[in-house]
A and B are shown apart, each in its own frame.
Chain A
């Protein structure tokens, strides 16, 4: 396509594109508003926080509205001339990220990080990163993918170093930047290889070209440029997911950043990166099924499977030795990223179209649950830090006597993260394992199961310290503010959702309808 052709397409569908883009636009407007209001605002007010809350709620509302009005994207889900795609998958992630944004603002309001003075710097960064993450989930153009990743990353670097007086935060931020720059460079190189080889950066077209090339050569011939291109892009995505061995930044950054930011990065950033991984690898692999050349997809599936297995195992083993709660949770999130990569790997490696959607379904379901359990854990860490000024496990001794509700909430989150029935984490994990079973990836299933056992020890260790161990000196307890109590209650209830009638089928219906409407190139 020539530039003029593209411009024509953009001009004709701009109106519809903007409508479908409205959740992102809401965030853009909010960011601008916050920056604008700052010019006239006196210090010490909470206007930025209120605006951020309003913006995320509106964005969530718009995303949910568009999700229910599927007719709006009847013709083709691709908007802006094939830069972005708005399908069920995108809708789901936009709702997830916007909902997460609401929870983040709520948590920040409770823990008073950032302070009122910093809020108008903090929230534009937070919303900007969220915007980038939304774009990551909907990009189907290599350049757009790169821009989205950068859009998500750059504010994240700032967020990681936001505790300006803390030396660790500065170090974390710098490490994150250096690492991120390296990964971006590698990814961009991979993209240039692919785009150069096939003459297009539009992912579905590229995938069709690849399938055609494979078909015309009568089977798979190892093309070093394609292999290098795909793998280098995967490095970039792997960095965002914090998949081993591209994870080294993660524990240091989480430890240095505040618990709130760590919670944000661990959920939102990971969700967006997994969405990108799923979108990129499935789009690339799908035409290959049609071309019936499964050797290349088999290799891709195996690579991702190995990556997932190593990531999960490494995360769980390394978490065991940690005493800093944020660091422990950092490794825990690495392990969970491993679990979530498993079904994607299985779907590609299973070489069967029928298992595509259930696999993606399982990932979406897991992410929805993961939001509640992981944010809950980081929220508790933040609240405890506010009260006792420490994030070290050794200072958590006897917390049950000091603040029972918080300890109970932490127990629910930890057990849910482990995957103990009847908590939500169990259901989510069960669905992932069911996909592995159905696709015949039994070795991956076994690794997943062993990992679950390993993970039990360090999650329960935290609970043992908080509940069973006796403190040497009695320390005073404290009361939670009503808003904090409500925050924890909501998240705990969300983790108990499988017990409530109707909730599980409802969530299942959402993920299923999101998946049934997944845009794939034919």
Chain B
């Protein structure tokens, strides 16, 4: 009974795919109830995956392979759809479906006024199916397939408001930037197949002699780095992080689901999945650590001066994802476990923050500039309190969930044995980032919810909204904060507050659980938190939060004066260190020039050739064949006899 629970785990993605198909096919017929299949499928998935998670956590063996069916077998290529249920995938699956179902529930209210209600739920259901498949499959090729499928869903949903040019451009940017990373991923995948002859996890990582052990170190490093390219794109790390802030053009639940909680963590998941491979190469792990530390700092430094609420959250996502890569970059099991721990807590509090900002957006009628807001806590009490929970968790205030997981990562970096200078620099960057994170989080929080309204128009809008509910075009104006949006917010807030405490202390930490993920070596001693580090990072977080209070909680001259004082730094940060512009000049413009040249070549040479080839049958047909089909029976008979004669002559000549 319990084992069939695990063996039927494919029902979870299947339910979502079916929901997507149903929504797509019957969207018109379901009308405003079109959210039902999507919500039902995700709730079912959450329940099922919770049971699977409990089952995996409570028994050995920790990893189970489930063969679903054989898709195709051509020569040596054997694409059997095989799933892997182990601590890592079961935790990820639960996270995706549980957070996903809460966000879907929120969307029922949030998207109610939108055109394309059905399209939204169809695409979200498709995404949930693809994402849960991505974490479950036990084959690199299928991982790649679903990797691209979630990318497609991301593209579709960023461009949800496709009539808006900025949304269409953002969708295109996300797609193209991800191609850059995926190119590396694809090469890594092909190398892996060429060198080991298999793409199944169980043959690559498991068993007595995993296939990756047969690789020589340079190949391991190369494959590790190439796969990491894909992770850099998908998880928005420097230098490919530029697509994520623009992706905020999509509807806010999409930002919460895809661009904060789940899809962007696919890169982290992938590196964690191939952690044994990374462990075998110091260069690969070092690169992961370096990129992680640098991106964490860079994104936090940019977030400090941004004025758009969702973009601040986007940069904080990039920064937090970078923390996760820092954990993986330590090359130790405790680091990897800490990274997944952070993936898990981050999903809750970041989804919460995005949903909260969605509620704010409804109130301000789409206005996102935090300098135009203020005093919203009076109008949106539930949003305010839950947002505060999320903000405290993100800031890393002690006892909130973000604190535990972030601290676990920093502890792993602190204790990393190898690396010397790199590790020390990474640790310092990590600590500085912790301070900056607390600061910009508090800044956004105070500006939005505290003080007095700064913009008359927006204030009027919010007041109106608090009284009448939706300002949209629909006829029925509900209350400002109905139950369907309160439930997900409160559930996520509970997670943001309690999860860290429960997971870090309640069951003796996650290392004994996640440390037994598929292919992982036996973890040595469990990570213990160095007291000095705990104190230091707590103080930094508190200091960051406290520093923001006098500057932003009340009307103050301080921010303006500080900006003037550090003018070059301020401009650099608010201009995002001109990375977009650098990309424009070193990549986009040259590419456009090449494309223009290709187009000329295409129209002149390629099209010319095609037209030439096309004209051959046309000419032959008109000149030779058409006259033969005159319709005269006599001619046909002669043709037949002549043909027979030719064949006889050929055979006789050939045989004699």
A residues lining the B interface (CB < 8 Å): 175, 178-179, 182, 186, 220, 222, 227-228, 231, 235, 244-246, 248-249, 251-252, 295-296, 299, 302-303, 306-307, 314, 316-321, 453-454, 457-458, 501-502, 504-505
Contacts and interface: CB of A to CB of B under 8 A. Distances in A.
B71 A318 contact: no
Given A318-B621, A502-B71, A231 B648 contact: yes
Closest 6 CB pairs of A and B: A245-B643, A248-B636, A321-B621, A320-B617, A318-B625, A320-B621
B643 A501 contact: no
A249 B621 contact: no
B655 interface: yes
B470 to A, nearest CB: 36
Given A231-B647, A246-B640, A318-B629, 12 more contacts: A186-B644, A227-B652, A245-B639, A248-B636, A251-B629, A299-B654, A303-B651, A307-B647, A316-B617, A320-B620, A453-B613, A501-B81
Interface string B621-655: 11011101101010011011011100110111011
Contacts of B624: 317
Contact of B656 (A182, A222, A245): A222
B587 interface: no
A504 B72 contact: yes
B614 A457 contact: yes
Interface in B361-397: none
Contacts of A314: 625
Contact of A502 (B69, B625, B631): B69
B618 interface: yes
A245 B642 contact: yes
Main SS class of interface, A: helix
B640 A306 contact: no
Contacts of A306: 647, 650
A244 B69 CA distance: 44
Most B CB contacts (10 A, CB to CB) among A186, A248, A316 go to: A248
A305 to B, nearest CB: 11
A502 B81 CA distance: 10
Nearest to A222: B655
B655 A321 contact: no
Contacts of B628: 248
A174 to B, nearest CB: 9
A220 B655 contact: yes
Nearest to B642: A245
A243 B629 CA distance: 15
B69 A299 contact: no
Nearest to B641: A245
B655 to A, nearest CB: 5
A290 B621 CA distance: 44
Given A246-B640, A246-B643, A317-B620, A222 B73 contact: no
Contacts of B643: 244-246
Contacts of A251: 629
A306 B651 CA distance: 11
Given A175-B633, A303-B650, A321 B626 contact: yes
Contacts of B655: 220, 222, 227, 295-296, 299
A432 to B, nearest CB: 15
Contacts of B654: 299, 302
Contacts of A252: 629, 631
A182 B71 CA distance: 49
Nearest to A171: B631
B625 A317 contact: yes
B556 interface: no
A235 B616 CA distance: 30
Contacts of B651: 227, 231, 299, 303
A501 B71 contact: yes
B232 to A, nearest CB: 30
B70 interface: yes
B226 to A, nearest CB: 26
A320 B615 CA distance: 10
Given A299-B655, A501-B81, A317 B617 contact: yes
B201 to A, nearest CB: 19
A501 B647 contact: no
B653 to A, nearest CB: 10
Most A CB contacts (10 A, CB to CB) among B631, B636, B650 go to: B636
Contacts of A296: 655
Contacts of B633: 175, 178-179
Nearest to B620: A317
A158 to B, nearest CB: 19
A502 B620 CA distance: 43
Most B CB contacts (10 A, CB to CB) among A179, A182, A246, A321 go to: A321
Contact of B69 (A248, A318, A501): A501
A427 to B, nearest CB: 10
Nearest to A234: B647
Most B CB contacts (10 A, CB to CB) among A182, A296, A317 go to: A317
Contacts of A502: 69-71
Contact of A321 (B70, B625, B650): B625
Contacts of A179: 633, 636-637
Contacts of A249: 636
A62 B654 CA distance: 46
A235 B651 CA distance: 14
A182 B634 CA distance: 12
A248 B620 contact: no
A429 to B, nearest CB: 15
Given A502-B69, A505-B73, A454 B644 contact: no
Contacts of A186: 644
5 contacts: A179-B633, A179-B637, A303-B647, A457-B617, A501-B81
A182 B637 contact: yes
B72 A505 contact: yes
A321 B624 CA distance: 11
B631 A235 contact: no
Interface string B579-620: 000000000000000000000000000000000011011101
Interface string B71-100: 111000000010000000000000000000
A129 to B, nearest CB: 23
B53 to A, nearest CB: 27
Nearest to B614: A457
Contacts of B622: 321
A306 to B, nearest CB: 7
A216 B651 CA distance: 22
A295 B654 CA distance: 10
Contacts of A299: 651, 654-655
A441 to B, nearest CB: 16
B636 A454 contact: no
A248 B640 contact: yes
A80 B457 CA distance: 95
A502 B636 CA distance: 47
A252 B635 CA distance: 13
A312 B656 CA distance: 28
Contacts of B652: 222, 227
Contacts of A178: 633
A252 B639 CA distance: 15
Most B CB contacts (10 A, CB to CB) among A179, A307, A454 go to: A454
Nearest to B631: A252
A302 B629 CA distance: 27
Contacts of A248: 628-629, 636, 639-640
Nearest to B639: A245
Nearest to B635: A248
A462 to B, nearest CB: 14
Contacts of A504: 72
A320 B629 contact: no
A249 B640 CA distance: 10
B72 to A, nearest CB: 6
A296 B651 CA distance: 10
A115 B650 CA distance: 49
A220 B652 CA distance: 12
Most B CB contacts (10 A, CB to CB) among A227, A306, A318 go to: A318
A245 B655 CA distance: 22
A251 B639 CA distance: 15
